[in-house]
């Protein structure tokens, strides 16, 4: 089973600052990686697929990069609504697997 | 715009069967490109993909090994919905359960998207006597 490892577990950031989240796959997954945002009491929401393609309606301050085993989600200037938990997920192998999440909290 | 609406009981007794339904609007359960997934989330297991059902001239199912011996997926084309049935549940099956679609075509990028989008609203299922 493909293991997805996210770091850090918690990221404390001030509004307006940049946040950089990492996701590592235990084997190469090409660019078959998605990023989701989850707020309390809500379902995860897809932000990015194909490692770097933003979904329609997702602000440009969210960007994804990477391929193979190393991936990054960058939020260029954190807004109040961006404080949430972020998950990566691979869809290159079965079963589909998720990282354990990175919580982005207000510093 | 595709939307998924979940329904089902929030409390199931140990050893019984957990059954949830996901109603689809804006797409078809028998689409030849989409697949219909079930995922659950708990503090101990995180987000765990359980499997999916899809139609490609006939019905197929993919199951996660963790639930393969206990799970069944069904599709109801007359109601445009799909369902999860997990038998012999234990308290370890307590979780928020989600349905989600994969397999959509992005006209902006001319690329297929095999990630999970959209998701249902989630159903907290507690296994307890």
Instruction: Give A47-81 pLDDT, tens digit per residue.
Output: 999 999 999 999 999 999 999 999 999 999 999 99
Residue B106: pLDDT above 90? no
> Residue B1: its pLDDT value, please?
92
pLDDT class for B28, splitting at 50, 70, 90?
very high
pLDDT in tens, B71-88: 999 999 999 999 999 999
pLDDT in tens, A87-102: 999 999 999 999 999 9
pLDDT class for B112, splitting at 50, 70, 90?
confident
Q: Tell if the CB–CB gap between A95 and B64 is shorter than 8 Å.
A: yes
Q: Tell if the CB–CB gap between B111 and A53 is shorter than 8 Å.
A: yes
Distance of CA B1 to the CA centre of its chain: 19
Residue B23: pLDDT above 90? yes
**Considering chain A, what is the average pLDDT of its residues?**
97
Query: Rounded to an integer, what distance in angstroms lies between the CA atom of residue A36 and that of residue A65?
Result: 14
> Residue B109: its pLDDT value, please?
85
Cβ contact B106:B30 at 8 Å: no
Query: Rounded to an integer, what distance in angstroms lies between the CA atom of residue B2 and that of residue A89?
Result: 21
Q: Tell if the CB–CB gap between B47 and A46 is shorter than 8 Å.
A: no
**Considering chain B, what is the average pLDDT of its residues?**
96
- The residue whose two tokens read 């007359």 is B78
A94 contacts chain B (CB < 8 A): yes
How many Cα atoms within 13 Å fall on the side-chain side of residue A69? 7
B118 contacts chain A (CB < 8 A): yes
Mean pLDDT for the stretch of residues A7-28 = 97
Query: Rounded to an integer, what distance in angstroms lies between the CA atom of residue A34 and that of residue A54?
Result: 10
A49 contacts chain B (CB < 8 A): yes
Residues of A in contact with B117 (CB under 8 A): 46, 49, 55
């Amino acid at each position: 089973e493909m293991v997805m490892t996210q770091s850090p577990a918690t990221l404390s950031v001030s509004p307006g600052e940049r946040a950089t989240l990492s996701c590592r796959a235990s084997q190469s997954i090409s660019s078959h990686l998605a990023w989701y945002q989850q707020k309390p009491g809500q379902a995860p929401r897809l932000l990015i697929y194909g490692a770097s393609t933003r979904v329609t309606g997702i602000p440009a301050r969210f960007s994804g990069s990477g391929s193979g085993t190393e991936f990054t989600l960058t939020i260029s200037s954190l807004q109040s609504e961006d404080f949430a938990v972020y998950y990566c997920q691979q869809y290159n192998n079965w079963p589909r697997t998720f990282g354990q999440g990175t919580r982005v909290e207000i510093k | 715009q595709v939307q998924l609406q979940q329904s089902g009981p929030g409390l199931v007794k140990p050893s019984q069967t957990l059954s949830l339904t996901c109603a689809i609007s804006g797409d078809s359960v028998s689409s030849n490109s989409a697949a219909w997934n079930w995922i659950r989330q708990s503090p101990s297991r995180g987000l765990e993909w359980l499997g999916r059902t899809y139609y490609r001239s006939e019905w197929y199912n993919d199951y996660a090994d963790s639930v393969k011996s206990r799970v069944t997926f069904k599709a109801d084309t007359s109601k445009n919905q799909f369902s999860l049935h997990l038998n012999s549940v234990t308290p370890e099956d307590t979780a928020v359960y989600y349905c989600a679609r994969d397999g959509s075509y992005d006209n902006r990028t001319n690329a297929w998207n095999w990630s999970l989008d959209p998701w249902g609203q989630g159903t907290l299922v507690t296994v307890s006597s």
